[in-house]
Amino acid sequence: MTARPNILILMVDQLAGTLFPDGPADFLHAPHLKALAARSARFRNNYTASPLCAPARASFMSGQLPSRTGVYDNAAEFVSSIPTFAHHLRAAGYYTCLSGKMHFVGPDQLHGFEERLTTDIYPADFGWTPDYRKPGERIDWWYHNLGSVTGAGVAEITNQMEYDDEVAFLAGQKLYDLSRQSEDTGRRPWCLTVSFTHPHDPYVARRQYWDLYEGCPQLEPEVGFIPHDEQDPHSQRLYLASDYASFDITPEQVRRSRRGYFANISYIDDKVGELLDVLERTRMLDDTVILFCSDHGDMLGERGLWFKMSFFEGSCRVPLMIAGKGVGPARIDAPVSNLDICPTLCDLAGIDISGIMPWTDGQSLKPLMQGSERGEPVLMEYAAEGSYAPLVAIREGKYKFVHCEIDPPQLFDLESDPLELTNLAADPQHAGLVAAFMEKVRARWDMAAFDAAVRESQARRWVVYPALRNGAYFPWDFQPLQKASERYMRNHMDLNVLEEQKRFPRGE
């Protein structure tokens, strides 16, 4: 075996870190994730770089904040010149492969991956571009609304189930393929990223998982509905963005939505279990680092908010677990970020990325896993639908501070107020702390320049997108190609050699 470990990244979509206080919460039916947690470094206070799919994923891949990548929203191009962990690993000799979602926008649909097994579930073009020039305007055909809540329930197949069934099947097939080379002395180490779209809404689940949560007490939110006029300004904007006025959400619909979400965590748990089982049966488990993560969370009706797009814990805190040789099982409470994943993977693989670190916002978690302290705060940004100007946040020590040029500041003590019910920034006794955080904001961000960059990006795309859809249209969406003539048995192959090569373990 090579000295460098194989890497299996298991990524899910919209899984709230509040449900992972130390691995999956006790009430969740997630035996495979709980078993993984028992042998993992578990990061209790891990945060997304931006609570929306494409910005979060570009930051996860690169270790860079959206203000650096330019991926501000779900239709902003992720440019090819930004290095990702797939580039770093591939340059060091790794085979890099993606099965599933990564929401890359633009003509580059690989970003360092040598191979993709599936297409993406979401479009790769500029069609979902917000428009800061029209604050308050809903773009009805693609903006989230509360139909996911009113439509929660049971189905045996959906668009998203079809996708994740394919993602898991092809990932398992790839693991079997990699196992056939695992005993070859000259083989390349591999990094396989498996990225599911569940438990992202709509909150629709298969009956076998739905039934697991009959009578579950956690179907009730901890923080009840907060009327529009009592919400902070950004949450008021999210009510408008979600088209709250067109829906009359009932308590039963809230319960059904949360039940569907929990059920889909159990569905994902089965998929994870299948892949880890293949890894073990093909004797690759001991040589593989496993990383489990999510792009952002889901408010799940807490405070009346749904989905993401917010810096409240349900939306921006996400699970992170790392297991494998040399990683001791432990709960780590220090605030960390998905920005740290790229440097961490490289560190675990013994790859020097110092050449790009001056332009990287994350840092390796390996010292933290070995008992060191972390001194840097966690940074977050948001500049997409539901916002009228960029929002930024700092998570440091027990505090979270949120700033937007058009809103009053927010300051929460997450130790004494984990549900974020008391905004300390409104208390004169905390004026000094607010001023100290504002100094850090001004030192880190030029908010006027950030706002101008977002507006420029949006304006450009509002010109380019309709132009490219006029006349002959060439999609950027990834089109998986399969050479059927090179699979199974064909007449240019030696049957005896083929049968031996495709068997693992051999000769038993």
The span from the CA of 50 to the CA of 191, in Å, is: 24
Q: pTM of the predicted model, to two decimals?
A: 0.95
Question: Tell me, what's the pLDDT at 144?
Answer: 84
Cβ atoms 16, 336 nearer than 8 A: no
Q: Domains along the chain?
A: 6-501 (3.40.720.10)
The three-state secondary structure class of 283 is coil
Question: Tell me, what's the pLDDT at 154?
Answer: 97
How confident is the model over 214-255, as pLDDT tens digits?
Answer: 999 999 999 999 999 999 999 999 999 999 999 999 999 999
Question: Tell me, what's the pLDDT at 374?
Answer: 87
Active centre residues (catalytic)? 53, 103
Question: Which amino acid would we find at residue 304?
Answer: G
Question: Tell me, what's the pLDDT at 143?
Answer: 84
Question: Tell me, what's the pLDDT at 2?
Answer: 46
Question: Tell me, what's the pLDDT at 15?
Answer: 98
* Residue stretches of the chain with pLDDT short of 70: 1-2, 507-508
| Number of other residues whose CB lies within 10 A of the CB of residue 438 | 14
The span from the CA of 261 to the CA of 251, in Å, is: 15
Token code pair at residue 438: 């504002």
Cβ atoms 103, 74 nearer than 8 A: yes
- The 3 state secondary structure assigned to 305-342 is CCCCCCCCHHHHECCEEEECCCCCCEEECCCEEHHHHH
Question: Tell me, what's the pLDDT at 418?
Answer: 97
Sign of dihedral through CA atoms 428, 429, 432, 434?
Answer: negative
Question: Tell me, what's the pLDDT at 466?
Answer: 96
To the nearest 5 percent, what fractions of the chain are helix, strand and coil? 40, 15, 45
The three-state secondary structure class of 418 is coil
Question: Tell me, what's the pLDDT at 500?
Answer: 80
The residues, any chain, with a CB within 8 Å of residue 146's CB and separated by 6 or more, are 242, 243, 244, 246, 247, 249, 306
N-terminal to C-terminal alpha carbon distance within the chain: 20
Token code pair at residue 237: 């904007």
Question: Tell me, what's the pLDDT at 487?
Answer: 84
How do 153-154 and 204-205 pair as beta strands?
A: parallel
How wide is the angle at C-alpha 188 spanned by C-alphas 9 and 177, nearest 5°? Answer: 65
Question: Tell me, what's the pLDDT at 28?
Answer: 98
